[in-house]
Amino acid sequence: MFKKNILAITLSLMLIVPAFAAPASTSQQPAQKTAVQTVQTTRVTPLALVANPKGYLSKKIIMDGKFDKFSTLGLDYKKAFRDSNKYIGFMIQRDDVKDHDVPLSELKLFLKREYAEKFVDLNTGDKISMTGVVFSNALGDAWVDITNIQILQKAQAVENK
């Protein structure tokens, strides 16, 4: 009778506390969680990004714009640091001004220098598509690491007469 009670209690404990069910083996590795991360890319206009940089922080974005020029604007700024030895900045034009070219200086765009070398033939007015990640909103501006550029349309050459 005593043995049956001990057995019943042991079985009950095994159901309640799974650790009693099987001794822990030191050779077993804990189960690793394999979560598949999908990074969603958000299409945004440059002016929408400038209007709400905090809303796009740490997000992967795609946007189109007209190339203006390469620039050192924003490089080596400690709060959103991109080393001028490794990166080059560039600017695109505001798309809300139609009668002349105005750079969108509130948008800080950066390329790794070795990648930027592929685009030395970019001219002011070339239409480009950019993919990147917004890494900071320092100074209330959007700071973006551009990882891919695609030239959509070359600007018309202006002839001097």
In the prediction, which pLDDT does 40 show? 84
32 pLDDT band, cuts 50/70/90, is: low
The mean pLDDT of 108-126, rounded to a whole number, is 96
Please tell me the distance from the alpha carbon of residue 42 to that of residue 68, in angstroms, as a whole number: 23
Q: pTM for this one? A: 0.73
In the prediction, which pLDDT does 53 show? 97
In the prediction, which pLDDT does 71 show? 94
CATH numbers and ranges of domains, the chain: 41-153 (2.40.50.140)
Please tell me the distance from the alpha carbon of residue 78 to that of residue 8, in angstroms, as a whole number: 68
Q: What is the mean pLDDT of the chain?
A: 83
Gyration radius of the chain's alpha carbons: 28
pLDDT at 160 over 70: no
